[in-house]
Amino acid sequence: MKEKWSHLMKKDGAKTVAASVISILIGLLVGCIIVIITGLTSGNMDGASVWDGVRLVLGGILSTGRDASGSLTFGFNPTNVGNMLFRATPLILTGLSVAVAFKTGLFNIGAPGQYLIGTAATLITALSIPTSAVPSPIVWLLAFLAGVLAGALWGAIPGLVKALLNINEVLACIMTNWIAANLVTWIFDNSVWRNLEEYGKTNYIYKTSHNGVETARAGLEALFPGSQVNWGFGIAVVIAILVYVFMTKTTMGYELMACGSNRHAARYAGVSDRRNIVLSMAIAGALSGAAAALYYLSGNTEFYWQTYQSLPATGFNGIPVALLAASNPIGVIFTGCFMSMLNIVGQQLTSLTAFNEYITDVIIATIVYLSAFSLVIKLWLSGRKKHKAQPPAVPAASAADGKTEKGGEDA
C-alpha cells in the first residue's frame, strides 16, 4: 500500500490534486480557528454557539436548519444543493475563462468586463425579440449566442493590444473592465428594459422571464425543490469538457499552450504567436460572456444596471477557481462547485448563528493564497530538498592508491 501511494505521488497530476486538497483543508482550518476566536472573545456567544459555527463551516451545505429545541440539524438539503449548482454555473465558466488564458501564458483579469458586456447583450436580445413572433427557445439560443459573441469581442480587445503593441494584458483588461461598466450603465440608463412594473426596482432590468425566456429546468425542480437550479449547470459542465478536449486533443489547443510555454520558441517553430494571443483572449471573453448569459437567462435573476459603482464579483471569483484547479478545465468544475458551496455556507452562518458570511471570504482568501504556493506544496509532497552542489566523494582506497602511484613515480 505504501509503495502504491509512493508511486501515485510521483505523478505530477496527483501532486497537483493533493496540493489543492491541502490548500482547501488549511483554509477550512483557518475558518474554524476564526470562528473559535470570534466566539470566545465575544460576550454574547457560548461554547454551543462556537461549536455550531465550526460545524457549519465544515458542513453547512448539509444543514437543514434548527429543530424545535433549537439544535442544528444536518442531512441532505436539496434546496442548498440546488442553489449551489446554480451559483456554480457562472463560476465554472469564469474559472474556465481565466484558466484558458493561464494556459496560454496570459492573465485574464478582464473577466468582469467581459461578463458585463455579455450580460448586456444577453438581456437586450432576450427582452427585445417578441416571443409572440419567435419561439422562446429560439430567442433563448439567440440571447445566449449574443452574450458569448459580445464577451469574445470584448476579450479580443486586450488580446489585440497585447499582440500588436506588446502592452501588458493586465493593464488593458483593467481599462476594458471600467469601460464596460460605464458603457453598460449608459446603455441601460433610461432604457425600455428597466423594471418599471415592480415598486422600488427602477434600478433593475427585467428578468428574462418577463418576455417568456428562461432556461429549462426539465425535472430539476423535483430533485431540488425550492432552489434556482436549471440545466444551465449541465451546459457549463459540457462546455468545460469541450474546452478540455480542445486544449489537449487539438492542434490549435496545442499551439495555444505552446505559446504559453514559450512564445518565442513557438514563433520559431512556425506558430503565429500574435494570432494565438488574440484567439486566447477571445475564447476567454466568450466563456465569461457565456457565464453571464446562463446566469441571467435563468429567468429568476435580476441585473442591477448601475454597474459603474462596482464590478461583478463573479468575474474576479473565476481567478481563485482557476488557481485552485491548476487551470485544469475538468478540475474547474469541482472547484467552481466548492467555491459556490462556501457561498452557501456563508449564508447558513448568517441565518443560523451570530457569525457572518465574511468568515467564508477569509477561507477563500486563505485558499487562494496557498494555491499561489502550490509549487512549494508539491515539492514538499515530493520530499525534494534543495542541496548545495558538492563534489563527489573520493573513495578512501582509490585515494590511497593514487598517492602510492604518485609516490612511486616521484621516486
The domain spanning residue 101 has which CATH number?
1.10.3470
7 and 141 housed in the same domain:
no
Calculate what percentage of the chain has a pLDDT beyond 70. Answer: 86
Asked if residue 209 and residue 131 are part of one domain, the reply reads yes
The values of phi and psi at residue 177, to 5°, are -60, -50
The owner of cell 469574445 is 152
pTM, rounded to two decimals: 0.85
Residues 88 and 179 in one domain: yes
List the beta bridge partners of residue 204: 304
Is the pLDDT at 201 greater than 90? The verdict is no
Last residue of a domain, one of 317, 340, 363: 340
Name the residue among 117, 246, 134 with its Cα closest to residue 188: 117
Of residues 320 and 263, more confidently modeled: 320
CA distance 326 to 320: 10
Quick one: pLDDT at residue 395? 56
What range defines the domain where residue 19 resides?
2-76+376-382
Residue 335 lies in a domain: yes
How many Å apart are CA 368 and CA 324, to the nearest integer? 7
Lowest-pLDDT range, 201-205, 310-314, 344-348?
A: 201-205
Q: Which one is predicted more confidently, 149 or 55?
A: 149
**251 within a domain of the structure (yes/no):** yes
Residue 378 has pLDDT above 90, yes or no: no
Matching residue, cell 429545541? 69
Number of domains the chain contains = 2
Let me know whether 201 and 64 are in one domain: no
Is the residue at 355 inside a domain? no
Instruction: Summarize the confidence of residues 57-83 as an average pLDDT.
Output: 86
Q: Are 33 and 47 in a shared domain?
A: yes
- Tell me, yes or no, whether 91 and 208 share the same domain: yes
Q: State residue 134's pLDDT score.
A: 92
Verify that 96 and 63 share a domain, yes or no: no
Both 150 and 67 in one domain: the answer is no
**211 and 68 assigned to the same domain:** no
| 273 and 179 housed in the same domain | yes
Shared domain check, 88 and 63:
no
For residue 344, which phi and psi values (nearest 5 degrees)? -65, -40
Would the pLDDT of 68 be above 60?
Answer: yes
Q: What is the mean pLDDT of the chain?
A: 84
Average pLDDT over residues 301-327: 84
**Pairwise CA distance, residues 87 & 10, whole Å:** 35
The answer to whether residue 313 is domain-embedded is yes
pLDDT tens-digit readout, 247-291: 999 988 888 888 877 777 777 777 888 888 999 999 999 999 999
The four Cα atoms 74, 76, 79, 84 give a dihedral, to 10 degrees, of 100
Tell me whether residue 27 is in a domain: yes
The alpha carbon of 43 is separated from its chain's Cα centroid by a whole number of angstroms, namely 37
Least confident of 44-53, 346-355, 393-402: 393-402
Mean pLDDT, residues 125-141: 93
Q: Which three cell numbers stand for residue 83?
A: 442553489
Q: Is 57 found in the same domain as 126? A: no
Band the pLDDT of 411: cuts 50, 70, 90: very low
pLDDT for the residue numbered 217: 87
405 vs 56, residue with greater confidence? 56
193 located within any domain: yes
Q: Burial, 250: exposed, middle or buried (Cβ in 10 Å; 0-12, 13-18, 19+)?
A: exposed
Grid coordinates in use for 87? 451559483
Span of 11-20, 81-90, 171-180, 332-341 with lowest mean pLDDT: 11-20
Q: How far is CA 187 from the centre of its chain?
A: 28
Domain final position from 340, 355, 390: 340
Q: Choose the weakest-confidence range: 179-183, 222-226, 308-312, 332-336.
A: 308-312
**Residue located via cell numbers 474559472:** 95
Query: Does some domain include residue 346?
Result: no
Q: How confident is the model at residue 234 (pLDDT cuts 50, 70, 90)?
A: very high
Q: Which of 22-26, 202-206, 366-370 has the lowest mean pLDDT?
A: 366-370
Q: What is the mean pLDDT of residues 370-393?
A: 59
Give dist(CA 201, CA 10) in Å, integer.
57
Specify if 332 maps to a domain: yes
Contact 281/101 with Cβ under 8 angstroms? yes
Are 169 and 281 a contacting pair, CB within 8 Å?
A: yes
Give the Cα separation of 203 and 306 in Å (integer): 7
